[in-house]
Amino acid sequence: HLALAAGHLLTANYTSGSVTALPLAEDGTARPATTVLRHEGSGPVTARQAGPHAHQVLPDPSGRWIVSVDLGTDSVRICALDPGTGALTLHGETALRPGTGPRHLAFHPAGTHAYVLNELEPTLTVCRWDAGAGVLEPLGETPVVPEGAPGPSYPSEVVVAPDGRFLWAAVRGDDTLAVLALDPDGAKATLVATVPCGGTWPRDLTRAPSGRHLYAANERSGDVTWFDIDPETGIPARAGSIAAPAASCVVFG
Q: Per-residue pLDDT for 16 more than 90?
A: yes
Indicate whether 128 and 190 sit together in one domain.
no
Of 122, 143, 164, the residue at which a domain comes to its end is 143
Indicate whether 119 and 87 sit together in one domain.
yes
Residues with Cβ within 8 Å of 78's Cβ and at least 6 positions away in sequence, in order, are 65, 66, 67, 90, 91, 92, 93, 94, 134, 135, 136
Of 109, 143, 177, the residue at which a domain comes to its end is 143
Residue (of 213, 214, 222) closest to 242 by Cα position: 222
pLDDT score recorded for residue 181: 98
Residue range(s) defining the domain that contains residue 113: 1-143
pLDDT score recorded for residue 247: 97
Task: Count how many domains the chain has.
Answer: 2
Residues 117, 71: contact at Cβ < 8 Å? no
The bridge status of strand 189-196 relative to strand 202-207 is unpaired
Q: Per-residue pLDDT for 25 more than 90?
A: yes
- For the entire predicted model, the pTM comes to 0.97
pLDDT score recorded for residue 74: 98
CA angle 185-213-253, nearest 5°? 100
Indicate whether 92 and 153 sit together in one domain.
no
- Strands of 88-95's sheet in order across: 54-59, 66-70, 75-81, 88-95
Of 143, 159, 188, the residue at which a domain comes to its end is 143
The whole-angstrom separation of Cα 54 and Cα 68 is 7
**CA 89 → CA 85, 105, 161, distances in Å?**
11, 20, 31
Question: 147: how many CB neighbours lie within 10 A of its CB?
Answer: 6
Residue (of 102, 12, 3) closest to 56 by Cα position: 12
φ/ψ (deg, to 5) at 109: -60, -25
Indicate whether 162 and 232 sit together in one domain.
yes
Q: Per-residue pLDDT for 4 more than 90?
A: yes
pLDDT score recorded for residue 118: 98
Please provide the average confidence, as pLDDT, over all residues in the chain.
97
CATH code, domain with 21:
2.130.10.10
Interval 186-243: pLDDT, tens:
999 999 999 999 999 999 999 999 999 999 999 999 999 999 999 999 999 999 999 9
Interval 112-171: pLDDT, tens:
999 999 999 999 999 999 999 999 999 999 999 999 998 899 999 999 999 999 999 999
pLDDT score recorded for residue 234: 97
Indicate whether 47 and 12 sit together in one domain.
yes
Element (H, E) at 116: strand 113-118
Indicate whether 211 and 175 sit together in one domain.
yes
